[in-house]
Amino acid sequence: MKIGVLISGRGSNMVSIATACAAPDFPAEVAVVVADTPAAAGLEKAAAMGVATAVVAPGEFADRGAFEDALANTLAGHGAEGVCLAGFMRILTGRFLDRFPGKVLNIHPSLLPAFPGLDVQQKALDHGVRFSGCTVHFVTEAMDAGPIIVQAAVPVLEADDADALAARILEQEHSVYPEAVRLFAEGRLRVVGRRVIVDTK
C-alpha cells in the first residue's frame, strides 16, 4: 500500500514510518511526504531517505477548500492510498477526508479521549494522572475523536515536566505508529461503531 505522510515540523514520526516501510516484509511504502510549510525540517529527512517530497502551503490558495483540494491532489498524484498525519498541525475537513474515506490516520500524544488538542503533556501533569501515552486513531472531522487503533501507556514520574514526559511518550509513538500502519496496510482493521476490530491474519 502506498502511504502519503503529512507533516508540519521535524517529522520524527514520519521517519519511524518510512524506516519501517523500508523493511522488505513491510506491507506499505511511503510514496510522498507533504509539508504545509517549506520550513518543515522533516522534508530534508525524507529526501535523505529517498522519499519524494512536496510542499502545499495554505497561503498560496484562495481558501481552505482550495488548499485541501491541492493537498489531496498532490497525494493522489503520487498514488497514495492512505494518509498518515505525523505532526501535521492543521485540522482537515470532510472535503479532504472524503477523498480518502476511512484511510486517514493520526497520532496524538495522550491516551485519548483524555486531553485532546494542544499542550497535552502539561494538561496531564496538571490533572495529576498516573499514566499518559499516545494514541493512533482514524481521523474524523471532530478533532482527536476518531476510532482508536492502538495505544501505548507510559508512567508519569514525580520528577516529570512536560518536556520529559513528551520525550518518553515520543519513544512509544515511534513504535506504535508503524505498527498501526502495518495493520492498516494488511487490511486487518474494521471499524464497528466506535471500536476498531483487529482481525487476525
Distance, CA of 113 to CA of 116 (rounded, Å) = 7
62 burial via Cβ count (<10 Å: 0-12, 13-18, 19+): exposed
Distance, CA of 184 to CA of 188 (rounded, Å) = 6
Pairing label, strands 189-192, 195-198: antiparallel
Q: Cell numbers 479532504 correspond to what residue?
A: 96
Q: What pairs with residue 13 in β-bridges? A: none
Residue closest to 117 by CA, chosen among 96, 92, 91: 91
* C-alpha cell at position 142: 471532530
Q: Which residues are catalytic?
A: 108
